[in-house]
Amino acid sequence: MDGSSKAQVGVIGLAVMGANLARNIERNGYICAVYNRTAEVTRRFSEEYNGNFLPSYSLEDFVSSLVRPRKILLMVKAGVAVDAVIDALLPYLEEGDLIADLGNSHFKDTKRRGEYLSGKGIRFLGVGISGGEEGALWGPSIMAGGDRSGWEEVRDIFDKISAKAPDPCHAYIGPEGSGHFVKMVHNGIEYGDMQLIAESYHLLKEGFDFSNELLGNTFAKWNEGVLSSYLIEITSRIFKVKDREGDGYLLDKILDKAHQKGTGKWTVETALELGVAVPVIASAVTARGLSMIKDERVKAAQKLKESGSVEYGGLDRDSAGDCVESALYCSKIMSYAQGLSLIKKASDKWKWGVDIGEVASIWRGGCIIRASFLDDITLAYKEDSSLDNLVLAPFVKEALLSRLNEWRKAIAFGVSCGIPLLGMSSALAYYDSYRRANLPQNLTQAQRDFFGAHTYERVDKEGVFHTEWEEENQS
């Protein structure tokens, strides 16, 4: 096979995401080599899609079909499968070739793989891809980390296949596993975003008996304002879908058990390791866990009924939509603020040099958490790249203060009705904690010193102190 007929890039893994990405690449003017471990999958792909594809049925032929330096994109399941494919490829690769893992790999695995391959002269990228099946086909948000020269090799390809808002929604995030780290946090924010939307739905449905039609119209209206986003848009459409297999709406027939694949949990675990507070994201992971114990909840609903009447106050049906809109907007900002703070802390710790404003910028198109207020977030970090926390940005301060009363009112109403608001209440508590000069953890530290001699610092003098609390009590 001569160089003119070889592929500029290859994709391994032809499940829906991999197949759509290959089609995106080919549609943008590239010859794309394709391979799947199951030969029948490769055969079906080549039969279904005509174009500049070079199907192979062995890894040796696949590698031979690529121009050098070879650019190989892995679209396989995260975990041991990635390591297995890499090891299987190595005998056929040469120094300077590039492997890019575009799956949802853990950033620590990406760092390990990069170090391993670097020692063999192979360049490696860990690339976060967001946008789902449609994004892979028509333009995802792309977050790349790892070998910088490897990024330069594929930059033009990513430039063409990524979403545009209006600039290409891709970036070289930094070295090591930083690309997959940012994608992990993106997914954590996504968890928080979805939980907050679910709570808004619950407030309006249970608290004010909003019909599905009214809910759909309310969310559609929200999508025309500050809440304009992909998730709000699709939610407004979900409410209006009728059940083809029976009466009523499809949403009402879906079991209230939300599964998860792990990236939200990884975000929370990493935040705990780094000492960064992400309560909205943590509450979203917790909420999905609670949703899974359906049988227990059904039993508890019968055994834990409240007796007597409950007084609902502070919110009426006419103003409920606007009030919940404000509460959702403020809470969503907290979710993004927590995620971006986590990225900043990781970047500082591992010296990645992540540009937070650029991260916000590439999330404006293609990805699941794309939202109009990412324009404001991008601008805020452009004006002050040293922001300690998004909460301190002028536009956030103004947005929150003007909606604070409604935010509190919506949560107070939910609490009075017994409607669980894990995300919204934790978002407000985060905001209230962040803006407090003094928190009650002086007592926590005193307790730690009492039972464990963990010492404490004082507000009036330098140094580290310990008190014999039992002796002081007796004196």
> Phi and psi of 337, rounded to 5°?
-60, -40
The answer to whether the beta carbons of residues 52 and 45 sit under 8 Å apart is: no
372-374-375 Cα angle (round to 5): 80
CA distances in angstroms from 232 to 105, 311, 369, listed in the order given: 27, 31, 10
CA-based radius of gyration for the chain: 25
DSSP state of 368: T
Residue with tokens 């990225």: 343
Q: State how far the Cα of 273 lies from the Cα of 374, in Å rounded to an integer.
A: 27
Q: State how far the Cα of 336 lies from the Cα of 329, in Å rounded to an integer.
A: 11
Those residues whose C-beta lies under 8 Å from the C-beta of residue 62, and which sit 6 or more positions away, are 10, 12, 33, 35, 56
Here the tokens at position 303 are 């055994």
Question: Among all residues, which ones are annotated catalytic?
Answer: 183, 190
Tell whether the torsion through CA atoms of 105, 179, 96 and 156 is positive or negative. positive
Q: State how far the Cα of 193 lies from the Cα of 331, in Å rounded to an integer.
A: 9
Instruction: Specify the 3-state DSSP secondary structure of 56.
Output: coil
Residue with tokens 């609670």: 290
